[in-house]
Amino acid sequence: MGAVAELPATAAAVVAHAAGDLRIEDIPVPAPAPDEAVVDVAFGGICGSDLHYWLHGAAGESVLKAPMVLGHEIVGTVIRAAADGSGPAPGTAVAVHPATPGPGGARYPAERPNLSPGCTYLGSAARFPHTDGAFSRFAVLPARMLRPLPAGLELRTAALAEPASVAWHAVSRAGDVAGKTVLVIGSGPIGALAVAVLKRAGAGRIVAVDMHERPLEIARAVGADVVLKGDDAGAIAAVEADVVIESSGSHHGLASAIQGAVRGGRVVMVGLLPSGPQPVLISLAITRELEMLGSFRFNDEIDDVITALADGSLRVDPVVTHTFGLDRGLEAFEVARNAAVSGKVLLDFRPVPA
């Protein structure tokens, strides 16, 4: 057995302290448990939940009660394997599945652990103490979270594995989309990745909608046949989509989804609306007999996503619009919050060459 890699006492990380208080600061590198590996983080994608913790001190009903390391869209290289022999060996490039299912106190289908009420997620304040994320130079993670990457798959591309899995799960909730007309409401990173997944799945006609030109350009680059502005209600209603993926996370987007669906169509809601009551065109959904389906995170779809990224059948590179070194992390968050100019924004955790 080779020598075990030495770990530094601290590492730079992205920490949300409260609403409007985001810091790049050194944090202790914990000693790994026997089933934990240490990952030298290469890239991390900024997610909408990361932005919410920074801007509002909360993501939905998950409220910051203490400083928390952000980040769950992570790729890197194992530098210390789990001592119990589980997980990949040192030198293995990996993506991260950030969920830890837990039973909690309510029933859920056993084959859908993403719905387990006790589930925790990296970089989540849903419970206290919070579950720290992995926006850190070195991340200590359970070995079961790590997914080895095939040779030849670039880490920068693999950084989209987690959000692409969210999109893949949403499309799978829609059923067989081959040859069908599909409307995607909201062409931010998840919407654009849904377009890419739909293209790979053989959708007959993909129509993407957004309020801004830049996201629509990205959607077209990854497979949209038609793009529409979000305020063109007439054009959206005329689509008559067999399937709609609602990824805007707004009640306006959900209204467009219902209006753009064909009678008897299916609407998959992956965009997370704010908590509390929301206005919904429910009578129209009823009289059109629409199927309204929720979609939340993912299960093992990440394995299929990694395979599709590696063989080139899932084209996602246009979704990444910006990459910032960790020393420019605060600037990266400012860019990521502006949907008019950015798609997926990556943080590059690798040390800057001397």
Q: Are residues 82 and 16 in the same domain?
A: yes
pLDDT in tens, 272-321: 888 889 999 999 999 999 999 999 999 999 999 999 999 999 999 999 99
pTM for this entry: 0.96
DSSP letter (8 states) at residue 5: P
pLDDT in tens, 49-105: 999 999 999 988 899 999 999 999 999 999 999 999 999 999 999 999 999 998 888
Residue 302 lies in a domain: no
pLDDT in tens, 2-12: 567 788 899 99
Which range marks the domain in which residue 339 is found? 10-160+316-348
User: Which stretches does DSSP call E strand in the chain?
Assistant: 10-18, 21-28, 36-45, 58-59, 62-63, 68-69, 73-80, 93-96, 99-100, 120-121, 138-142, 146-148, 181-185, 205-210, 226-229, 241-246, 261-269, 291-294, 320-325, 344-348
Residue 105 lies in a domain: yes
Supply the CATH number for residue 137's domain.
3.90.180.10
Residue 353 lies in a domain: no
Q: Are residues 123 and 18 in the same domain?
A: yes
Give me the residues paired with residue 269 across strands. 246, 294
Q: Are residues 154 and 174 in the same domain?
A: no
The count of structural domains within the chain is: 2
Residue 99 lies in a domain: yes
* Encoded tokens for 96: 């991260």
* pLDDT value of position 244: 98
Count Cβ neighbours within 10 Å for each residue of 113-124 and write b for 16 or more, e otherwise. Answer: bbbbeebebbbb
* pLDDT value of position 195: 98
pLDDT in tens, 329-354: 999 999 999 999 999 999 999 987 76
pLDDT in tens, 120-166: 999 999 999 999 999 999 999 999 999 999 999 999 999 999 999 99
